Amino acid sequence: MAKARKFDVTALPGFTFVALMSFVLLYAPIVTLVIYSFNGGNSVNQWGGFSLEWYRVAARNEAVQGAALRSFIIALSASAIATTVATMAALGTTRRAKYRGQTFIYIVINQPLMVPEIVTAVALLLFFSSIKIATGYSGLGYLILAHSAFCVPFAYLPIKARLEGMDIAMETAAADLYATPWQTFRYVTLPLLMPGVIAGAMLAFIISLDDVIITEFVKSAGQDTLPTYMLGQLRRALTPEVNAISTALLGISVVILTIFFLVTRKRG
């Protein structure tokens, strides 16, 4: 009797072509953007020679400087808050026996992933508008809270996955040795969980840094972030400065992902 052959998707006709075309369609626009960020001309799509002029223009632009600083403050604050909340939520949904309503809690935590972002943005706009009217405060706190709420599920998923893959035996052993729940968490659970926490924090940071829709709805006057500044430039006069800023953001994302890879590999 002939032995059944194991299915291998890479052996299907045309697999290589489809895979290559997928990579081309995905990365060709990004490569084009990076190339034209070094364009010496004033056009975003006509080559005028190699130059770093638009990087210098962006670096000297006070509006870009303010937007960049604001973006990093919001992203760092939002990622810290979202990661803290996500860690507590992950512990509460994995380090206990199954209970009634657990699925509903998963749905609530992951709601921003399932609802269109524009709906979340409108809801946050209405909610924060009433608070602004009542308190008179219109600072960055609203943007930080809005980004934090949106980033919680992005931080929650890798932390929860890490917890589910951890062996509970070490935590049980710590409890048997009379460690308090806080000592068990601090000296056993948290060190083992740290790669997931780092992954969640970095993902939340990137999501916050890149967000446009929620920021556009919640921000007050003079609170542009880099993405909303770039959106405003697209509506006015489009120059290669936008390409330079986009490439810089891309570079930051690549650096963060590289650092995360090195840290997690070292820990492993």
* pLDDT, position 205: 92
Q: Is residue 42 part of a domain?
A: no
Q: Is residue 33 part of a domain?
A: no
- Look at the chain and report how many structural domains it folds into: 1
CATH number of the domain enclosing 164: 1.10.3720.10
Buried b vs exposed e over 158-172: b needs ≥16 C-beta within 10 Å?
Answer: bbbebbeebeeeebe
Q: Is residue 14 part of a domain?
A: no
Q: Is residue 32 part of a domain?
A: no
pLDDT in tens, the chain (268 residues): 455 667 777 777 788 888 899 888 888 988 888 888 888 877 777 787 888 888 888 888 888 889 889 999 999 999 999 999 999 988 888 877 777 777 788 888 888 888 888 998 999 999 998 888 888 888 888 999 999 999 999 999 889 888 888 878 888 888 888 888 888 888 888 888 888 898 889 889 989 988 889 999 998 888 889 888 888 887 776 778 888 888 888 888 888 878 777 766 655 4
Q: Is residue 28 part of a domain?
A: no
Residue range of the domain that includes 95: 48-267
Q: Is residue 24 part of a domain?
A: no
Q: Is residue 67 part of a domain?
A: yes
Residue 211 has a CB neighbour count (10 Å cut-off) of 25
152-189 residue pLDDT tens: 999 998 898 888 888 788 888 888 888 888 888 888 88
